[in-house]
A and B are shown apart, each in its own frame.
Chain A
Amino acid sequence: MQAIDPITFSIVRHRLFRIVEEAVITLKQVSGSAITNEGHDLMVSLYRADGSLLMGGVGFLHHLTSASEACKSIIRRFEGDIHPGDLFLLNDPYTAALHTSDIYLIAPIHFEGELVAWSACFIHVFDIGAMTPGGFIPDARDVFNEGFSSPGLKLIDRGRLRQDIWDTILNMVRGPEMVALDLRSMIACNNVAGDRTLALVGKYGVEAFDGVCSALIEQSETKLRRRIAALPDGRWQARQYFDVEGETIQIMATLTKEGDALTFDFTGSSPQSIHPVNCTRWATWGGLFAPLFPLLCHDITWNEGVIRPVTMIAPPGSVVNCERPAPVSVATVAAIQSVNNVAGTLLSKMLVSSPDARGEASAGWHGNHFVIFTFGVNQRGAYSIGVLTESFAGAGGARTFADGIDFGGELPNPISRMANVETTEAELPVRYLYRRRRVDSAGPGFYRGGAGGEFAIVPHDAPTGGIDYVVVGKGTGFPQSDGLAGGMQGGTNAYLHHHRVSGDLASDGTPLPWGTHMLRAGEALYVRWNGGGGFGDPYLRAPELVAADVASGLVSLEAARTCYGVVFGPDETPDLDATMALRADRLSGPTAGGHGSGIALSADGAHCSHCATRIAPAGAPWKSQARLWTRPVASLSGAAASVDARVEMRQFGCPACGTLLDAEIALPGDAYLDDIVKPSGAARAAA
């Protein structure tokens, strides 16, 4: 720490936290919209004079780094023309934004004429003037279909709103008064951040302020590097797939940890798609940090210091680094989310390799954030664009010490929530038939994932007889919430249109391709969403816990038998003898307990964490030495099932005791995910 005295450091740091928090509150209050207030689909951060991240707020976390790049880009583009009282707008995905409808408003903060910091915020605006209302454009074929986009324009010039620009933007969007309010809320948010920062600088002086900022960044970097250095050196792999209109997209990622640095390499990912699922480079960069902040840095200030130890390799022209003018509007719930998922899995695989850090690891949370926007005339005769908020109630992944949380949320946006049924029914001409947790949605494991859910809606009092909606649905073929340490993945999603409201809405019906659809009188829309991934071998879960989940409707009798190896008698209580016998088919050691198994990778080699059998030497691939069971995901019980017969689940087990060490989702022929921890220097020398 430099010359800054610790008292000033402590006071200024607390005030910086408060500034970001107050700016978030301002944004929500002025905006007043459901997606901002319920979904918490927003972000506010402070940046240093050079655009580097100073203090990130708790919001949609993939934006923290992208808004940093947005600041830097404004600094380059407007060099010599940045003045006190200016405010810039940027939403071009090829410059820094994630997609066009997440608009950044960015303001320089000058103290007595000197640029001392930047504030930036985003919300998902009501509309962006694209082909489809609401900002997600499933049918877009290039970025020009996706509404207006600016690589940087000055919206306010030295305190004066540029009315011509303002009018032009509002002239391009549906619901201009709603977009105006969204923009006003972001202006108010930047004003608050600026005023408060200036008061702080005024009290402590530029030098002290800068000193604290440098110290904060240095502190974060030091802490994170120390944390990384304490973990074993190694390499871990993760892979996600999703389908779009018959095209299968693959996101492949390898994490290499060496010393106190991390490298995420996306080599092996699919070429960019014609569909708007692609990540620009900045989107991938933000996407990998979104889970990194909460998983690795919960007690570290989220700033530039966290970014420095991390490197990314993303092949140009791929789905994780697309080239203009590839369409990207759906990326936040497509490839960006897959990047979130692989990064979360990689970090958790790394954390679980260390006995000290494994408590921070987690199986996949809500791997498949889906989007359903409705639009049309509501029961009060008003045109409305609405978002169904259930996807903000995703399920938590299993932890290394507890089950995942049913409807627990998601890591990239840790404080979201869904609207009440009554709120939605008051605003949209629909009626829910049910909304509840879904059987077999949770990934089975020694600790199971949190349960996902299902709902069904019908039109109700719709003046035009129904409502239109956009579905950006994926994850019906490939489960997306990864399991960890032999735990299984959470279930798949389903989006089913019913021409009649009868029978089991969850199993019949027409699967919806993504795109725009109509829900008419007498019809129903059914949606099921994934649970979190499981942790550890489900065969080791205590039968009474499985019975409790069966009793509360979260696990079917069939899944209890096929996934958990628990057999129920005719009185619907577990038959312990039959359970022991079934489990003994695979397990040769103890049939319950332990830590839930999983592969234990260390500098001493790969071991079964249940029976301690050594499976492979350190640094060598271990999966070829393990037992392998492959089964089609489509054959799995209930909601875990897939609509795609090709998709397989590979379960790798201990050759000695049979417990599960790892599970992966794959297409036949794709390579095994390869995880290794490097041998220690001593072990290498001995070898």
Chain B
Amino acid sequence: MIASAAKRDLIIATDVGGTCTDTVVFVPGAPVVLGKRLSTPPDYAHGVLDSIGSAADALGLTLAELFARTRLFIHGSTVVDNTVFERVGARTGLVTTEGFEDTLLVTRGAYGRWAGLSEDKLKHPVHTERAPALVAADCIAGVPERVDYKGEIILPLDEVATERALRHLVETREVEAVAVSFLWSFNAPEHERQVKRILTRIAPDIYCTLSSDIAPVPGEYERTSTTVINAYAGRVVRDYLTDLEHLLANSGYDGPLMVMQGYGGLLPSGSAADRAIGMLECGPAAGVIGSRALGELLGQPNVIATDMGGTTFKVAVIQDGAIEYAIEPMVDRFHYTQPKIEVVSIGAGGGSVVSIEADTKAPLVGPKSAGSRPGPVCYGLGGEEPTLTDVFMLVGYMDPGVFLGGAMTLDPDAAHRAFAARIAEPMGLSVEQAAIGVYRVAAAQITDLVHEITVERGLDPRDFVLHVFGGSCGMLAGAFAAELGIRRFVLPYTASVNCAFGLISADVAHEYIATQLLPVPADPAAVEAIFAPMAVEARAQLASEGFDDDHIVFERSIDLRYGRQVHELRTPVPFSGPFDAAGLASVADGFEALYERRFGQGSAYREAGMEMTRFRLTGRGVLERGTPVPAALEGEDASAARSGTRRAYSVAAGAMIDMPLYDFERLRPGNAVAGPAIVHTPITTLVLQQGQTGRVDALRNIIVDVD
């Protein structure tokens, strides 16, 4: 309990997800406090206050009392993702170079038709479609202008034609937002800025995004698509953040509002409002930041973060504390180019439907999902097709009496009946045997996926600690961790609110990028001259947000590639001082090491030389937050938390055995549980297989060691 007369010392982080809105409150000198409520679309701000209220309840405070003590509010939201998925953005026009009006519509040919599709759809081209663009074909206007690859103006912008085109878009087509994307504009932004000046003069209320501002990088299709998405969602985000600020102010909070970005950093709400696209996938990004923070806390710089909920399995990799960035990110079916933390996702979750292939009797998991409605058969909400969750129930891993902390009871008989009729009988197996078989298939498929983003990228899973998030992951982790040779996995205490935990672990970060082609070796002065203005701009920006020099950190990186090769890699600059020849050489060495690791041995192609293509600077404003307070460790004996025994599947035995059950709420820091065993927490279940021992640490994480 906290005394209410106090200084402002709390940090609140709230993450709006598709289903739940999660809150973490950081209290100096005390354990973090968690809050969770259902999201409230379309008025998400409502759910934000509900969720914070539930955390306030846990602290014994009113919402107003909580806010009165809060010095920082951090927010992540799916608002941009929703705007795109639900097609509820602004009516958007596009101004582009005459002769290239179709660039957005034809998506580099088939690329936009197949990108993002699963293998079974790739093999079925007659039944694939390109998603209709966010800009209607009649809202695209080409205007005479041309810049070449060096940034030289070949044809000056025709201002008269531009004004005519803009008037047509605004007055006849009634667009509410305008995206401007010219060829090579990142090398010569003047023409795009001219368009914006004309638009501001004739229609000052129209939201406008320039490609040279939002994505100053080569590749006109991806740059244009990025610009369009930002224009399309821009006003929605601006209104959303303004409304949220008002709501918070009316509830007694008038401190800063920080907004999570897909690259894992925070932006003050004012800056975030101009970069709607930055918020895409910021929840999963925050989850990775949370995993990294937890890894740091536990002394584990190499982490495989896995999250399995109702519909998807997500996985991300952190190596030596470094995060991987997505190479060709997409939202829905649309490409964009922005720094974004890579999170690989497949459609496999608790709701994945289990079926039987007619001729081979082989069990299939997914791709169809029962979602949360009607959901698994055992939910009793009308689902008739067995799902992976039903399989977890049938192999004994779920507690039929208590689900989601008792919020729901399950119907194991219904699951049994449906599984018998649809799966076990056609396979000619008992329900138990068939359920074990399907479980093994699911574990093997997850193994294949984790293999894909580790071993296939030259990483050895044995060097990594696995973090287990989401409602379903803990029931599979013991099985697939063993197969991958993973030696340790962790069920974090904050697993149920990991994205919110990530928000609270993040720093303010502004990303700057400059595009220029320089051969290696280059003149260090030329490189310095590219970074210097970005550093000045970043420092001024962070200073305006209240960061002093002691709290400003610059991270620099350079994208390099081999000559005549298409793969570019963002390579960190491993020093902070000015560039010299030795410093540049160390960057090139770093690139070569990264390249071989990412693309495999023998892929390096030194003979053709190296080129630097993009220069990136992240200006980080470090937020003070302190560290969580560890509890005292008690003895290993966990018998006080024993809650019974249930028949459940043991991988080692290859059969159902009597498995001891433990109640997480009664486990004390320091307790150890040896597998085979099942630990039920209020929100999930952790299954320890033979040879796996889980220990509760001082922060109430369960650390599992594999023999």
Decide: A433 and B99 in contact? CB cutoff 8 A.
yes
Task: Verify if B120 is at the interface (C-beta below 8 Å from A).
Answer: yes
Decide: A299 and B124 in contact? CB cutoff 8 A.
yes
Complexed CA–CA distance, A36 and B436 (Å):
42
Please give me the residue from chain B that is nearest to A176 by CB atom: B607
| Complex interface residues of chain B between 549 and 566 (CB less than 8 A to chain A) | 562-566
Chain B residue contacts of A178, Cβ below 8 A: 564, 608
Decide: A25 and B220 in contact? CB cutoff 8 A.
no
Chain B residue contacts of A382, Cβ below 8 A: 563
- 27 A-B contact pairs sorted by A residue (CB < 8 Å): A21-B119, A22-B456, A26-B456, A32-B566, A32-B599, A32-B605, A37-B566, A38-B566, A58-B122, A177-B605, A178-B608, A294-B123, A298-B127, A359-B127, A392-B110, A405-B128, A406-B105, A407-B110, A408-B110, A408-B130, A410-B110, A414-B110, A420-B222, A422-B219, A423-B218, A434-B100, A460-B149
Decide: B361 and A34 in contact? CB cutoff 8 A.
no
Set B122, B126, B601: member contacting A295, Cβ < 8 A: B126
Decide: B600 and A30 in contact? CB cutoff 8 A.
yes
Complexed CA–CA distance, A461 and B602 (Å):
34
Chain A residue contacts of B648, Cβ below 8 A: none
Chain B residue contacts of A29, Cβ below 8 A: 567, 598-600, 603
Total cross-chain contacts (CB, 8 A): 225
Known pairs A298-B126, A402-B129, A425-B149 / 14 extra A-B pairs, C-beta < 8 Å: A1-B361, A10-B444, A18-B451, A58-B123, A188-B600, A188-B603, A405-B113, A407-B106, A409-B114, A425-B148, A426-B517, A436-B101, A461-B150, A552-B138
Contact A13:B362 (CB < 8 A) given known A34-B566, A407-B106, A421-B220: yes
Task: Verify if A205 is at the interface (C-beta below 8 Å from B).
Answer: no
Complexed CA–CA distance, A233 and B100 (Å):
48
Nearest 10 pairs between A and B by C-beta? A393-B109, A409-B110, A434-B99, A417-B111, A298-B124, A32-B565, A407-B106, A7-B437, A29-B599, A30-B603
Complexed CA–CA distance, A298 and B122 (Å):
9
Please give me the residue from chain B that is nearest to A22 by CB atom: B456
Contact A417:B517 (CB < 8 A) given known A10-B441, A384-B564, A437-B102: no
Chain A residue contacts of B361, Cβ below 8 A: 1, 6
Q: Mark B449-468, 1 if CB is under 8 A from A, else 0.
A: 00110001000000000000
Decide: A185 and B603 in contact? CB cutoff 8 A.
yes
Chain B residue contacts of A405, Cβ below 8 A: 110, 113, 128-130
Contact A415:B441 (CB < 8 A) given known A184-B602, A188-B600, A423-B218: no
Decide: B106 and A437 in contact? CB cutoff 8 A.
yes
Q: Mark A406-443, 1 if CB is under 8 A from B, else 0.
A: 11111100111111111101110001111111000000
Task: Verify if A215 is at the interface (C-beta below 8 Å from B).
Answer: yes
Please give me the residue from chain B that is nearest to A384 by CB atom: B564
Set B103, B119, B183: member contacting A17, Cβ < 8 A: B119
Chain B residue contacts of A421, Cβ below 8 A: 100, 103, 183, 220
Set A10, A297, A432: member contacting B362, Cβ < 8 A: A10
Chain B residue contacts of A399, Cβ below 8 A: 126-127
Chain A residue contacts of B445, Cβ below 8 A: 14
Closest chain-B Cβ to A329's Cβ sits at a distance in Å of 23
Task: Verify if B86 is at the interface (C-beta below 8 Å from A).
Answer: no
Decide: A177 and B607 in contact? CB cutoff 8 A.
yes
Please give me the residue from chain B that is nearest to A300 by CB atom: B123
Chain B residue contacts of A573, Cβ below 8 A: none
Set A22, A181, A408: member contacting B109, Cβ < 8 A: A408
Decide: B220 and A420 in contact? CB cutoff 8 A.
yes
Decide: B360 and A215 in contact? CB cutoff 8 A.
yes
| Complex interface residues of chain A between 278 and 331 (CB less than 8 A to chain B) | 293-295, 297-299, 302
Chain B residue contacts of A11, Cβ below 8 A: 440-441, 444
Task: Verify if B137 is at the interface (C-beta below 8 Å from A).
Answer: yes
Q: Mark B562-600, 1 if CB is under 8 A from A, else 0.
A: 111111000000000000000000000000000000111
Closest chain-A Cβ to B237's Cβ sits at a distance in Å of 28
Decide: B437 and A414 in contact? CB cutoff 8 A.
no
Task: Verify if B40 is at the interface (C-beta below 8 Å from A).
Answer: no
Task: Verify if A223 is at the interface (C-beta below 8 Å from B).
Answer: yes
Set B137, B150, B362, B599: member contacting A9, Cβ < 8 A: B362
* Residue of B119, B137, B360, B437 with highest tally of chain A CB at under 10 A: B360
Closest chain-B Cβ to A313's Cβ sits at a distance in Å of 27
Chain B residue contacts of A436, Cβ below 8 A: 99-102
Decide: A7 and B441 in contact? CB cutoff 8 A.
yes
Task: Verify if B2 is at the interface (C-beta below 8 Å from A).
Answer: no
Chain A residue contacts of B362, Cβ below 8 A: 6-7, 9-10, 13
Contact A453:B427 (CB < 8 A) given known A25-B456, A421-B183, A422-B184: no
Set B221, B440, B448: member contacting A15, Cβ < 8 A: B448
Chain B residue contacts of A177, Cβ below 8 A: 605, 607-608
Decide: B566 and A222 in contact? CB cutoff 8 A.
no
Decide: B566 and A6 in contact? CB cutoff 8 A.
no
Complexed CA–CA distance, A22 and B608 (Å):
26
Task: Verify if B363 is at the interface (C-beta below 8 Å from A).
Answer: yes
Decide: A219 and B110 in contact? CB cutoff 8 A.
no
Task: Verify if A545 is at the interface (C-beta below 8 Å from B).
Answer: no
Closest chain-A Cβ to B434's Cβ sits at a distance in Å of 9
Closest chain-A Cβ to B504's Cβ sits at a distance in Å of 36
Task: Verify if A360 is at the interface (C-beta below 8 Å from B).
Answer: yes
Please give me the residue from chain A that is nearest to B187 by CB atom: A422
* Residue of B148, B427, B441 with highest tally of chain A CB at under 10 A: B441
Closest chain-B Cβ to A431's Cβ sits at a distance in Å of 6
Closest chain-A Cβ to B80's Cβ sits at a distance in Å of 25
Decide: A460 and B138 in contact? CB cutoff 8 A.
no
Set A7, A410, A422, A427: member contacting B440, Cβ < 8 A: A7
| Complex interface residues of chain A between 354 and 400 (CB less than 8 A to chain B) | 359-362, 365, 379, 382, 384, 390, 392-394, 396, 399
Closest chain-B Cβ to A216's Cβ sits at a distance in Å of 9
Complexed CA–CA distance, A168 and B105 (Å):
47
Chain A residue contacts of B222, Cβ below 8 A: 420
Closest chain-B Cβ to A589's Cβ sits at a distance in Å of 29
Complexed CA–CA distance, A9 and B359 (Å):
12
Set A223, A297, A420, A427: member contacting B221, Cβ < 8 A: A420
Complexed CA–CA distance, A192 and B602 (Å):
12
Closest chain-A Cβ to B166's Cβ sits at a distance in Å of 20
Contact A294:B125 (CB < 8 A) given known A32-B565, A33-B564, A177-B608: yes
Set A32, A58, A410: member contacting B603, Cβ < 8 A: A32
Decide: B126 and A362 in contact? CB cutoff 8 A.
yes
Task: Verify if A187 is at the interface (C-beta below 8 Å from B).
Answer: yes
| Complex interface residues of chain B between 121 and 169 (CB less than 8 A to chain A) | 122-130, 137-138, 148-150, 154
Set A13, A22, A294, A437: member contacting B124, Cβ < 8 A: A294
Chain A residue contacts of B564, Cβ below 8 A: 32-33, 178, 384, 427
Set A26, A294, A460: member contacting B126, Cβ < 8 A: A294
Chain A residue contacts of B127, Cβ below 8 A: 298, 359, 399
Decide: A219 and B360 in contact? CB cutoff 8 A.
yes
Contact A420:B110 (CB < 8 A) given known A6-B427, A29-B600, A30-B603: no
Complexed CA–CA distance, A453 and B427 (Å):
52
Set B106, B123, B154, B456: member contacting A453, Cβ < 8 A: B106
Decide: B122 and A415 in contact? CB cutoff 8 A.
yes
Task: Verify if A683 is at the interface (C-beta below 8 Å from B).
Answer: no
Set B108, B359, B601: member contacting A393, Cβ < 8 A: B108
Task: Verify if B107 is at the interface (C-beta below 8 Å from A).
Answer: yes
| Complex interface residues of chain B between 6 and 23 (CB less than 8 A to chain A) | none
Q: Mark A554-581, 1 if CB is under 8 A from B, else 0.
A: 0000000000000000000000000000
Contact A423:B219 (CB < 8 A) given known A9-B362, A10-B362, A29-B600: yes
Task: Verify if A551 is at the interface (C-beta below 8 Å from B).
Answer: yes
Decide: B109 and A299 in contact? CB cutoff 8 A.
no
Decide: B219 and A420 in contact? CB cutoff 8 A.
yes
Task: Verify if B38 is at the interface (C-beta below 8 Å from A).
Answer: no
Chain B residue contacts of A396, Cβ below 8 A: 113, 125
Contact A415:B603 (CB < 8 A) given known A9-B360, A22-B456: no
Q: Mark B72-113, 1 if CB is under 8 A from A, else 0.
A: 000000000000000000000000001111110111111101
